[in-house]
Structure 1
Amino acid sequence: MADAVFDEETNVLLSQVDIEPVDANWFDIETDFVLSQFNLDNVLDMDVKSGNFPYSQTIGDLNVEANKTETGNCSSKRFNFEAKSSDVKKLQASSTPLNTQKNTRWDVNTWDDWGKWRNDRTISAGLKESAPYVLVPPLTVDIGAAELCHWMCRFILEVRRQDGSEYPAESLRQLCISIWRYLRDTCRRYDLNFFDRSKPDFADLRECLDARMKELNVSINKVKKQAKPINRTEEDILWSSVFSLNDAACLQYAVYLYACKLFGLRAADEHADLSVTQFTFGRDDVGQFIRYIGGRSKTVQGGIFHKKVLAKDIKQYANDSNPRCVVNLFQKYLSLVPEDGPFYRRPLATKTADGDQNTQHRRLVSIPYRSSCRECAKGQVLTASRLDTLVK
């Protein structure tokens, strides 16, 4: 019956096959069957000898060869870097902005200089063993809460600028914040957060800082330093005396201006890390546009605490009737630099075949705009924050 049913030239329906009913005794419903009780080796040996097994190796041999192949791929392709302690520390330090690291070092050095000055005076005047705290301690992991509170109160009253003048209230607060940041990030003393109101050990310190800040706000005539906005007239002066589409340096100055004005690039590190691939051109129902996708910046770190902070995604559309069209400006500049790599390049004096000046394939050491535009716009230095407030 089996030979007739599975004839290669005959189409057979499942209903035409004579299948005997299943015997209920095939499986013992009262006994639990464990897979380990089944002798798989005998079945495999029988299948290999009979030629029914499609491979010449047993399952064990195949597993060994697969493990060798996987191990070889892991060692050569997947895992090829062994991190050291220095690599881990470097990675941890990179999570903090460079300016924050610089300010922290400066303020901790201020503590050290003040402590050295006070300790020298104490030693020269003679140590008083009866005093609870005699010498100012360094900021280390061993410092205690009571000792820190004691000396921080005196630091707030005595610290001065290098010229001997008093710090403004906000600068004094930033000094204290840097000290706490150093204790937290470097010394790993999370219990010394003296800004936490739930910690009564530092109540005297908070009261002292609060009173000192109020006192400084009254005694010091605080003038806030801020960049002045550039008006339309000053922008016209820049286009008449600095910006040009026929000179590499002048073209780059114009690109820097509108990168600040239209795409919101403010900090120097945003310009230093700017890449050509962050700008793309396209066209939609509105018209031709240039699109900028922002990268990592001070406010967009991309870490576990900034998951909901999105990077900049800005479009600017072309205006053919405007001789200062930003799309044409950036197309001109990007046609003269490589398609990948740093955005800012050092201008060259040599010209291309079409008469345009080329740019050198090297990253600029510093932002090019400040020095060349110093004498323009009524002699005022043009910073990125000021360019951001341009009058359109």
Structure 2
Amino acid sequence: MSDLGNFIIGDGGLDLQELSAINDFDFELFGISEDDINLSQIVDNLEVTGSVTDEDLTLSQICDTLDIKTENETENVTEGAASKSSSDARRFRDAVSDEEIRELINSNINLNTKKNTSWAFGVFEMWRKERDNVPEILAMTGENLNFYLGRFIVEARKRDGTEYPSKSLYLITCGLLRYLRDNDVTDKNILDANDHRFAEFRKILDSRMKDLLKRGIGGKTKQAEPILPEDEAIIWEKGIFGDKTADTLQCTMFFYNCKLFGMRGHDEHHALECDQFIIGEDSKGKYVEFVGRASKTFKGGLAQREIDIKNIRHYSNQGERCIVDLYEKYLQVLVSGKFYRRALPGTPPRFGNQPVGVNKLRNLMKIVCARAGLSGNYTNHSGKRTCATQLYIAGVDEQEIMNRTGHRSEKAVRKYKSADESVLRKVSSVLDPPQKRKCPENKTHQEEPTAKRATVPLSDISNLPTGSLFNNCQVTF
């Protein structure tokens, strides 16, 4: 559709033939024919005098003059317009059902969150069935919740009879609160400090957590270990990373997706698509760019509408192990679709159409480190901790570390940073007691008694002789 405003009306006027010659505008779409167009009506209503430029005469003005309703003014197009438009161009879908709404909500709940909620409720149900006359949690009043949850927190034990650590008790409490929310119980918030109905329960929970920590239960948190540069070099030297086979190339991509772009959970890796990676080049050099989507820490909902999606550009460091070249080679083999697909034997690297399973992705970092002979607690989180730790050791600003890892608070990213061995040794050396001084060779160190300092009573100062006390003296130090 061409804009009639691009036509210039001169002093000589404009006839209908000229208008028809330039218009690709389908007047029949609006239920009018060219016979209905009165050019003098257009000119008179627009008060055209002299020359009219494209800034003066626009399609919207002509539509107003002819009483044509544009899409911006109304969506009640005539039956002729509707029949002229494509038959399948429906603006709205069919009415949504309640079941579809529930499926939409449930599909966007994190799987680990669902498991934690189910676990917390399961522990409470097992305790409830062992006690007499304890009502179901959804049927409890506020007073019942305050009473029974306090007893449950004190009495809860693991299957082997040992006590839960304080963090686990808090997670159980959060899981029970989510269970209430999931079942539309919104008027009871057991962790809200302003809800005085549950003040006793919160005191019991707080005291129980303090007591456990005092007795040394749950004081140490097990964390994934970062892969230090010397360990990373070992993995390369043993041929576990590289581009010789599909397996080694895939292991390389997995590790550097964690290290360069801060990925961790197996679900985040499993959802990766090839089109999320872009190979490009600008004035700074060649790069691989990662465009993120929904993840564990970023869902893109109402609470995160002001947060930008992860978009990281990593520039090439040209050399034998150029990571951008490795990404480019991997993407050229896959072309499109899922980023992790079944590695096929042989050379050059080839991949099947079957996506790599969740179970293998969950343990892939552990498999890589075991092949390299590294001992320690290595999980998929090790890659992200490697990213934060190596940037921290290099003195990179904390904000830049957060941009890579995806953390939104300094407190969260500091849990991922670890000092390497050289830093720890330096700290230990500074804090160690001073070492005994070494004597020169062939000499025996003998401590000499400290000479007593001669003192002169103040009463005797007035009796000292006047004038020079020393004459022609030689002092040697």
TM-score interval, normalised by the smaller of the two chains? 0.7 to 0.9
Aligned counterpart in structure 2 of residue 181 of structure 1, from 178, 182, 200: 178
Report the AA paired with residue 363 of structure 1.
P
Alpha-carbon shift at residue 369 of structure 1 (Å): 4.1
Q: Closer, same or farther in 2 for the Cα pair 1:290/1:182, shift >3 Å? A: same
- Alignment partner, residue 233 of structure 2: 236
Is the contact between residue 225 and residue 377 of structure 2 (CA under 8 Å) also seen in structure 1? no
1:33-52 equivalence runs, <5 A = none
1:53 lines up with 2:36 in the alignment: yes
Distance 1:374 1:81 in 2: 53
Q: Could you tell me which of 307, 310, 313 is aligned with 1:309?
A: 307
Match of 1:335 among 332, 337, 360: 332
1:65 aligns with 2:57: no
- 2:275 and 2:289 mapped to 1: Cα distance? 10
Instruction: Output the CA distance in 1 between the equivalents of 2:357 and 2:308.
Output: 29
Secondary structure (helix, strand or coil) at the match of 2:351 reads strand
Letter in 1 for 2:130: W
Amino acid at match of 2:104: L
State the Cα distance separating 1:69 from its structure 2 match: 6.1
User: How far, CA to CA, are the matches of 1:330 and 1:240 in structure 2?
Assistant: 19
Which one-letter code corresponds to 2:352 in the other structure?
Q
The one-letter amino acid paired with 2:308 is L
What are the superposed Cα offsets for residues 226-266 of structure 1, whole Å, 9 maximum, x if unpaired?
A: 11122222112211221231110011101111111111111
Alignment-derived partner of residue 322 in structure 2: 325
For the residues of structure 2 that align with 1:81 and 1:166, how far apart are their CA atoms? 53
User: 2:221 maps to what in 1?
Assistant: 224
Q: Tell me, what secondary structure is at the counterpart of 2:162?
A: coil
* Corresponding position of 1:252: 250
Equivalenced residue count is: 318
Whether 1:349 aligns to 2:349 is: no
Alignment partner, residue 263 of structure 1: 261
2:192 to 189, 196, 202: 196
- Corresponding position of 1:151: 148
In structure 2, distance between residues paired with 1:83 and 1:137: 36
The one-letter code sitting in structure 1 at the alignment partner of 2:208 is: R
Deviations 1:172-206 (A, max 9, x none): 0111111111111x221211101112111111111
Cα drift, residue 282 of structure 1: 1.2
Let me know the Cα RMSD of the aligned residues: 2.7
Quote the offset at 1:162 in angstroms: 1.3
Counterpart CA distance in 1 for 2:82 and 2:313 is: 51
1: CA distance, partners of 2:232 / 2:250 = 15
- Report % sequence identity: 32
Per the alignment, residue 128 of structure 1 pairs with none
Q: Does 1:284 align with 2:247?
A: no
Deviation at 1:81, TM superposition (A): 4.6
CA distance in 1, matches of 2:250, 2:317: 20
Please give the per-residue CA displacement for 1:17-67, whole angstroms capped at 9, x wherever unaligned: xxxxxxxxxxxxxxxxxxxxxxxxxxxxxx99xx9536xxxx9xx933345
Cα deviation, residue 384, structure 1: 2.1
CA contact (8 A) 1:374 1:381 kept: no
Q: 1:88 maps to which residue?
A: 101
Distance 1:146 1:69 in 2: 66
2:177 is paired with a residue whose SS is helix
Unpaired segments of 5 or more residues in structure 2? 1-9, 14-31, 38-67, 69-76, 392-477
